[in-house]
């Protein structure tokens, strides 16, 4: 689906949301411990010409403290300011690695390592469209690090403003979904990590290139989570990414103007605390 179509759909939904309603609190365990695992068919890097399957399984702790949090908004975050419609936190997230030898454009170059993102995030709920629905504006600012688990390297910074529509009980089924439209701006260091080609890695088909900071791309993302009872949840994710007009369209590593990714997984919560909190 073209990004412009999704943007118009979001705008139309906003215009039709004529009435704000109170927030509906939901009682949830203060602490949960479980496992999460999933598999995705993902682009190797932004504007890559190839996708590969990649999977992960890891412990999945959830803590819903007033300040320290671990939940769907971040692996670990500190909530500095929180009100009904406004939230400011510092959070940690991450992404998977990519093997350069499995990518035609990067073959012979260093692998792209696991990446971590750390920084503040501002979230403003500016319209509540129905009992369980809302529109949000998010502004995360991230410092990016990469690691192969033998060392850690700082890779630069990015800013990713996002407009999102979220529904927390679709058709009264307990299903949650979030549709977001975002744009990514990155500094030269991060763009170099994806798009620069140094002289030792240049070939007849891959000239040297110096990455440029600026616009990286735009994304439409759909996230869906459906519960199967109290302890098991299915999650689905899908992205459509556009790199039209990006700062590094001239890089030999820039291969596709439009890419997509999809993933599916399960979250099993095998322990839930007796103390609860209103969410």
Determine the distance from the C-alpha atom of residue 47 to the mean position of all C-alpha atoms in its chain, rounded to a whole number: 16
Q: How far apart are CA 72 and CA 236, in angstroms?
A: 13
- In this structure, how many other beta carbons lie within 10 angstroms of the beta carbon of residue 171? 7
Q: Phi/psi of residue 88, each to 5°?
A: -130, 125
Supply the DSSP string of 106-131, one letter for each residue.
Answer: TTTSPPBPEEEEEEEEEEEEEE--SS
Give the pLDDT score at 60: 86
Tell the burial category of 68 from Cβ atoms under 10 Å away from its Cβ (0-12, 13-18, 19+).
Answer: exposed
For strand 31-43 and strand 258-272, is the pairing parallel, antiparallel, or unpaired? Answer: antiparallel
Give the pLDDT score at 25: 58
Q: How far apart are CA 140 and CA 159, in angstroms?
A: 6
Domains of the chain: 3-19+31-274 (2.40.128)
Cβ partners under 8 Å of residue 106, min gap 6: 44, 45, 98, 100, 112, 253
Please list the ranges in the chain whose pLDDT falls under 50: 1-23
Of 197, 210, 209, residue with least CA distance to 108:
197
Question: Rounded to two decimals, what is the model's pTM?
Answer: 0.84
| 3-class SS of residue 224 | strand
Cβ partners under 8 Å of residue 225, min gap 6: 72, 175, 176, 177, 233, 234, 235, 236
């Amino acid at each position: 689906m073209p990004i412009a179509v999704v943007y118009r759909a979001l705008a139309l939904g906003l215009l039709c949301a004529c009435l704000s309603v109170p927030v509906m609190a939901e009682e949830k365990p203060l602490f949960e411990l479980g496992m999460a695992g999933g598999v995705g068919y993902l682009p190797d890097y932004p504007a890559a010409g190839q996708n590969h399957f990649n999977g992960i399984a890891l412990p999945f702790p959830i803590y819903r403290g007033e300040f320290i949090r671990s939940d769907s908004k971040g692996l670990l975050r500190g909530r500095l300011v929180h009100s009904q419609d406004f939230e400011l936190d510092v959070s940690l997230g991450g992404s998977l690695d990519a093997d350069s030898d499995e990518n035609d454009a990067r073959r012979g170059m260093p692998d792209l390592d696991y990446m971590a993102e750390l920084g503040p995030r501002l979230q403003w709920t500016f319209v509540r469209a129905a009992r369980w629905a809302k529109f949000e504006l998010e502004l995360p600012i991230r410092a990016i690090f990469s690691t192969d688990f033998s060392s850690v390297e700082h890779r630069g910074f990015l800013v990713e403003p996002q407009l999102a529509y979220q529904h927390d009980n679709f058709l009264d089924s307990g299903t949650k979904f979030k549709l977001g439209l975002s744009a990514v701006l990155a500094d030269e260091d991060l763009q170099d990590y994806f798009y620069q080609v140094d002289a030792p890695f240049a070939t007849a088909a891959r000239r040297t290139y110096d990455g440029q900071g600026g616009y990286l791309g735009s994304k439409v993302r759909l996230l869906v989570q459906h519960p199967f009872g109290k302890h098991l949840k299915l999650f689905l994710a899908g992205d459509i990414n556009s790199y039209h007009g990006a700062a590094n369209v001239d890089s030999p590593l820039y291969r596709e103007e439009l890419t997509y990714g999809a993933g599916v997984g399960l979250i099993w919560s095998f322990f839930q605390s007796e103390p609860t909190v209103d969410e």
